[in-house]
Structure 1
Amino acid sequence: MGRRTAGIMGGVLVAAAVLLGMLVTWVPAAQLPDSAWNSLMGDLRRPWLVDAALFFNWIGGGWRAVLLVPLGIAAILLMLRRWYEALFALVAFAASAGGVQLLKHVFARDRPQDLLVPSDFGSFPSGHTANAVTIAVVLWLIAPRVWVAVLGALWTAAMALSRTLLSVHWLTDTVGGILIGAGASLLVAALLWGWLRWERRPPRAERAA
């Protein structure tokens, strides 16, 4: 993936998140699939699934998502002397979280009434899911390996599923979280593309040769 591709993909994903928010907020018929999925999740609930979802709720929100994970990833990169990539990661997490809060206040969507855990204002998009996909995209951009992409996709899918299992989000909220989290991360990557590649440049003597 190049800088231009990252920028185009990021812009498309962010635009898709905005359009999805407009659709599910302002078009009543768009609520039907969400309602059906919420009912299905209610029927599928089992104690062990709820316990797993509660773990994802704990690990993927609050100060752990806002501070611990971003600072932890940045600290590891700093220890590896990958200074610019550490800064990129922090900027990407901030952009993703900011985008989520902006859309939450723009659309002010109500959450499902049968939610199992208390949550903050605004259902669209899912902040937990956006944070999960931001982790996945940031780590893949820093270490573009197949196994990193697979683990990131599984983590994001599990987080999204847990949010609907607890009825704290509609299905489209989690889709919106994926769109804004990935889109914001890719836009930041396009803007700071040199930071992602700085530590991989050969020494100046080798470049001159």
Structure 2
Amino acid sequence: MIRVLTPHRQPDRQLVASGLLLLGAFAVPGIMILVGQGDPAFNRVDTWWQAYSFTLHTTFWDGVNGVLNWVGYVGMLSCHAVLALVLLIWNRPRTAAFVTVSGVVALALTQLAKAVVGRARPEGAKVLTDTGSYPSGHVSATTALLLVLAFLVGRWWMSSLAALGVIAMMISRTYLSAHWLSDVLGGACLAAAVVILMWWRFRDACIQENMNAGTTTIWAARASRRRRAGEQAQ
């Protein structure tokens, strides 16, 4: 079998430390926004970046970012669900659980943070937006899926594509005036922290499962075991 997935075993300390640092990087700005009533110390950087983004607007980039607006949320959540289903078919139920739990937890915490922080979005958004600007749901969903793929594929090119994809989505959300710069950074940090900590818990099971996986689907494997059990009983 040609293995598409080649996950690696990173040190526990490295994963836990990275996950906690990213959680802190997400939580601190959120607390500052709450304490500062929407006008934290980094607001000047947010407004400068927003003003700069307006200078980049063209018809072409409006179209590109309109596509990214759909891809970054509905598209990413759909791909997350499809990935979990494909892993089940590939006889990797624990890896599918890692994918599912990572996506659900990242989505739930993002929506919870939006409601708690209650930050107002920038004015003049080019797309429809819901309430709550911090953190960015599009960036969170994109980061969650691409980082999951980076861990599972385990190759440098996937990690590079994941980084480029997250950066592109961060730029897109600020270009569309749907989020402040700190919102997209917060979304990336939150989702990355969730995926890294989930990988820490699921890593060994996923690696072992990938090593043991055959070419048959999980349903074919179960049917084969039932047939063998029936033959033995006879």
Same fold by TM-score greater than 0.5: yes
Letter in 2 for 1:194: D
Aligned to 1:43: 55
Q: Tell me what 2:208 maps to.
A: 198
CA contact (8 A) 1:105 1:122 kept: yes
1:92-111 correspondence runs (5 A) = 92-111=102-121
Q: Is the contact between residue 88 and residue 195 of structure 1 (CA under 8 Å) also seen in structure 2? A: no
**SS of residue paired to 1:61:** helix
Q: Evaluate the alpha carbon distance shift between residue 35 and residue 85 of structure 1 in structure 2; reply closer, same or farther with a 3 A threshold.
A: same
2:18 alignment partner in structure 1: 9
C-alpha displacement at 1:103, in angstroms? 1.1
Other-structure match for 2:176: 166
Using the TM superposition, give the Cα deviation of residue 22 of structure 1 relative to its aligned residue in structure 2, in angstroms. Answer: 1.9
CA RMSD of aligned residues (A): 1.7
Residue 121 of structure 1 corresponds to 131
Instruction: Name the structure where helix makes up a greater proportion of residues.
Output: 1
Q: Does 1:22 align with 2:31?
A: yes
Can you give the 5+ residue segments of structure 2 that lack an aligned partner in the other structure?
1-9, 214-234
Q: Tell me the residue number matched to 1:65.
A: 76
Task: From 43, 56, 80, give the equivalent of 2:90.
Answer: 80
Deviation for aligned residue 1:20:
1.6
Matched letter for residue 23 of structure 2: V
CA contact (8 A) 1:7 1:187 kept: yes
> Which residue does the alignment assign to 1:156?
166
Counting aligned pairs with the same residue, the percent is 28
CA deviation vs aligned residue, 1:51-82 (integer Å, no higher than 9, x gap)? 111101011124x333x121111122223222
Inter-partner Cα distance in structure 2 for 1:2 and 1:93: 23
Deviation at 1:189, TM superposition (A): 1.3
Aligned residues: 201
Contact 1:18/1:103, CA 8 A, preserved across alignment: no
One-letter code aligned to 2:171: L
Give 2:67's aligned amino acid.
F
Task: Map residues 167-186 of structure 1 onto 2, 5 A cutoff.
Answer: 167-186=177-196
* Residue identity in the other structure for 2:82: G
* 1:147 equivalent in structure 2: 157
| Range with greater deviation from structure 2 (12-21 or 173-182) | 12-21
Q: Gapped runs of 5+ residues in structure 1?
A: 204-209
Superposition deviation, residue 201 in structure 1: 4.5
Name the CA distance, whole Å, in 1 between partners of 2:177 and 2:154.
34
Question: In 1, distance between residues paired with 2:163 and 2:123?
Answer: 29
